[in-house]
């Protein structure tokens, strides 16, 4: 099994100014009535992403872009409080992910786009607000891209973004919460599907995809069961991409982001560290939960995956030893 370290210095960063090109295409389809407003306005998007990073203790490689005019407008619309704190961290997190994956491109996110090269039928498990899906669509044409998440609010945000990004019109919506978009009627047209549902029971037949993605979500799930489902919907020779919270994540989250130097936070940290080993998560502890490389690889082998490759971002390590995140790429036996 191969191991590869990635450096953020090896990735060519996109300037924040490229947002303007994307925002110009969005037009005025939506008024300021929902979270989609944040993605239609370059200044608000950048401000929300940076506020989320600041409040979460995430150190960004770029100089912070938080303007007074954006702060004032966000206060007027109720997205931040009078004291300048985020009122809706879920929406702010979506802004952060959108900026991170489409404009900043960190090493393991760039790795995902490289691994997706030439893949035509893709499923994104726990897709959230759809930043990964939009990044995949931006990279190249696909035949079919499907996203599933249990959070209906996140899927609704993704649906709004698909429409304001001109990726097509809704052609089908089911009672079960599945919505399909047809980008065009040409033979090579893309089909995009969004699903609200249980990721432990994926709504697709066997061998439906040539790439399945689960990004920074595996620790929330019944890991063994969810990996088995990902294996089921992959075609032989299909590829799985996992981005995982590693052993360095609890330290990064609890010390760097939250501040652990109090009795209550120390007790909280110990509970989270204990949650790092099991395969069935405790929902109350999942934010600080992490997985180990051997643990994940063992479950992948048990499910039938092979040809596993392991990646770390050398700029996201604790003491040069414990990765905050790591990625594993595996293939389904042909």
User: How much is the pLDDT for 224?
Assistant: 95
> What CA–CA distances, in Å, run from 96 to 55, 130, 178, 187, 303?
12, 12, 26, 35, 33
Question: For the segment 139-179, what is each residue's pLDDT rounded down to a tens digit?
Answer: 998 999 999 999 988 888 888 888 777 666 665 666 566 76
- The whole-angstrom separation of Cα 254 and Cα 243 is 20
Q: Which of 73-77, 148-152, 185-189 has the lowest mean pLDDT?
A: 185-189
CA distance 206 to 199: 15
Rounded mean pLDDT, 253-276: 56
Between residues 40 and 49, which one has the greater pLDDT?
Answer: 49
Q: What is the pLDDT of residues 84-122, one digit of tens each?
A: 899 988 889 889 999 988 887 789 999 999 999 999 999
Q: Return d(Cα 326, Cα 107) in angstroms, integer.
A: 11
In order of 18, 43, 70, the CA distances from 15 in angstroms are 6, 14, 19
Residue 62 has pLDDT above 70, yes or no: no
* Count of C-beta atoms within a 10 Å radius of residue 156: 17
Residues paired with residue 195 on neighbouring β-strands, in sequence order: 148, 178
* pLDDT above 70 for 56: yes
Q: Which class in CATH covers the domain with range 105-332?
A: alpha beta
Confidence of residue 63 (pLDDT cuts 50, 70, 90): low
More confident residue, 273 or 128: 128
Taking the C-alpha atoms of residue 139 and residue 161, their distance in angstroms, rounded to an integer, is: 17
In this structure, the strands spanning 2-6 and 305-313 are parallel
pLDDT interval class at 57 (50, 70, 90):
confident
Tens digit of each residue's pLDDT (9 = 90 or more) over 302-328: 999 999 999 999 988 998 899 999 999
Check residue 112 and give its pLDDT.
97
Q: How many CB atoms sit inside 10 A of residue 19's CB?
A: 20
Please state the rounded mean pLDDT for residues 258-285. 50
Provide φ and ψ at 89, rounded to 5°.
-75, -25
Domain ranges of the chain: 2-103, 105-332
pLDDT at residue 144 in the model: 92
């Amino acid at each position: 099994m191969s191991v590869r370290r990635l450096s953020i210095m090896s990735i060519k960063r996109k300037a924040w100014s490229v947002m303007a090109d994307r925002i110009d295409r969005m037009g005025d389809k939506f008024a300021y009535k929902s979270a989609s407003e944040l993605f239609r306005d370059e200044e608000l998007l950048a401000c929300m992403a940076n506020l989320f990073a600041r409040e979460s203790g995430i150190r960004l490689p770029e100089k912070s872009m938080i303007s007074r005019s954006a702060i004032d407008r966000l206060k007027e619309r109720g997205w931040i409080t009078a004291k300048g704190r985020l009122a809706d961290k879920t929406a702010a997190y979506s802004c952060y992910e959108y900026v991170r994956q489409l404009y900043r491109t960190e090493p393991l996110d760039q790795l995902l786009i490289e691994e997706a090269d030439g893949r035509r039928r893709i499923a994104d498990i726990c897709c959230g607000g759809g930043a990964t899906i939009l990044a995949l669509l931006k990279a190249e044409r696909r035949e079919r891209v499907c996203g599933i998440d249990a959070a209906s609010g996140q899927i609704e945000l993704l649906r709004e973004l698909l429409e304001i990004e001109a990726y097509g019109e809704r052609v089908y919506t089911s009672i079960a919460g599945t919505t399909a978009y047809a980008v065009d009627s040409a033979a090579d047209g893309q089909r995009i599907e969004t699903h609200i549902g249980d990721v432990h029971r994926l709504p697709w037949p066997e061998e439906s995809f040539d790439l399945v993605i689960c990004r920074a979500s595996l620790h929330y799930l019944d890991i063994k069961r969810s990996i088995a489902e990902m294996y089921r919907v992959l075609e032989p020779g299909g590829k799985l991409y996992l981005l995982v919270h590693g052993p360095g994540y609890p330290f990064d989250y609890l010390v760097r982001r939250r501040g652990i130097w109090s009795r209550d936070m120390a007790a909280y940290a110990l509970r989270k560290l204990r949650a790092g080993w099991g395969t069935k998560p405790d929902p109350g502890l999942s934010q600080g939960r992490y997985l180990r490389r051997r643990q994940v690889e063992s479950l992948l082998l048990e499910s039938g995956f092979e040809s596993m490759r392991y990646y770390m971002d050398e700029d996201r390590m604790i003491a040069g030893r414990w990765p905050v995140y790591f990625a594993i790429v595996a293939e389904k036996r042909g």
